[in-house]
Structure 1
Amino acid sequence: MKKIKVLALVCLMFAGFGTIKSYAHCEIPCGIYDDAARVKMMYEHIQTIEKSMKMIVELSAAEKPDYNQLVRWVNNKEEHAKKLQEIATQYFMFQRVKLSDDPVMKAKNMKQLELLHKICVYAMKAKQSTNLEVIKNLNDTVHDFDHAYFSKDEHKH
C-alpha cells in the first residue's frame, strides 16, 4: 500500500512538470484590456529580440565562444518572439479584433488581421535567424498595426 501511495505521489509530481504555462490574457471575457500597453510590449519584445540577435552574432564571432551564454541568448530570442506572437494572436486576433457584418468594420478588421499575421510571420523568421532586416520589418509592421488599430483620438503613444 505504501508503494502505491509513493508511486501516486511521484506521478502527480511528474504530471505537474508537464503542464504548460499560459501568459495570455483571459478569454472570460473579463473586460480588462489595455491595448496601448500591449502595443508597447510588442515594441519591447522586438528590442529584446534585436539585442539577442546582436549578442548571438557577437558571441558566435569570438575566438572561443561562450556556448552557455550563446544558448541563453538564442533561448531569449525564441522566448520573446513567441511572446510577440502570443500578443498578436491570443490578445489582438482572438479577443480585440471583433467580428462584424458592417462592411467598413470588415475592411478595417481585414487590414488589422493582415498586419497581425505579418507580425507572427516576422516573429517566426526572427526565431530562425539573426537577420536584422527582420527587426526592421517587425518594427514597421507593429507601427502600421498601431495606426490601423487605434483611431486618431485613441492614439496616445
Structure 2
Amino acid sequence: MKEIKVLALVCLMFMGFGSIKSYAHCEIPCGIYNDEARVKMMYEHIQTIEKSMKLIIELSAVEKPDYNQLIRWVNNKEEHANKLQAIATQYFMFQRVKLSDDPVMKAKSMKQLELLHKICVYAMKAKQSTDMEMIKKLNNTVHGFDHAYFIKEEHKH
C-alpha cells in the first residue's frame, strides 16, 4: 500500500512538471546567440502590433463590430507586445548586456539598458491603447538600441 502511495505521488509530480511552460532562450551560457535575428524579431513584433492596432480601430468603427475579431486582434497585439518585452528583458537585459566596472563599458551598457527599458515601457503602452505614436516610439527606440548595441569593432559573441 505504501508503494502505491509513493508511485501515485511520483506520477502526480511528473504530471505537474509536464504543465510547466518553457520559453526560449536559455539562461545558461550555451553560446548559441543570434543578436541580429533578435533585433529583426523586435521589428517584426512592432509591425504586428501596428497591424493589430489598425484593425482594432477599423473593426471598432463599424456600426456592428465583430467582437470575436476585435478580441482576437487585441489578444494578438498583447501577445506580440509581450514577446517584444521578453526579447528586451529575457534575452538582451539578462543575458547580453554585460555588467562591467570599466567606465567606458559601463556607459555603453547604461545606454543600452535605458533603451531596452524604453522598449518595455512603450510596448506596455501599446498594450493599453491603439495610439500609433507608440509604434513610432518603438521603432525609433529599437533603431537606437540597434545602433548602440552593434558597434562593429567592439561587438563580440
| Shared fold per TM-score greater than 0.5 | yes
- 1:84 matched to which residue of 2? 84
More off after superposition, 144-153 vs 123-132: 144-153
- 1:26 matched to which residue of 2? 26
Q: Give the residue type in structure 2 aligned to 1:111.
A: K
CA distance in 2, matches of 1:34, 1:18: 29
Q: Give the residue type in structure 1 aligned to 2:106.
A: K
Gaps of 5+ in 2: none
Q: How many matched pairs? A: 149
Matches within 5 A, 1:116-127: 116-127=116-127
Aligned 8 A contact 1:53 1:130 in 2: yes
CA distance in 2, matches of 1:154, 1:37: 18
- 1:98 matched to which residue of 2? 98
Please report the RMSD computed on the Cα atoms of aligned residues, expressed in angstroms: 2.4
Percentage of identical aligned residues = 80
- 2:133 matched to which residue of 1? 133
- 2:59 matched to which residue of 1? 59
Gaps of 5+ in 1: none
Deviation at 1:150, TM superposition (A): 0.3
Aligned 8 A contact 1:24 1:86 in 2: no
Deviations along 1:45-83, one digit per CA (max 9) or x if unpaired, are: 000000000000000111111110100000000000000
CA distance in 1, matches of 2:154, 2:52: 32
Deviation at 1:14, TM superposition (A): 8.0
Change (3 A) 1:13 1:22: closer
CA distance in 1, matches of 2:144, 2:112: 9
Q: Give the residue type in structure 1 aligned to 2:38.
A: R
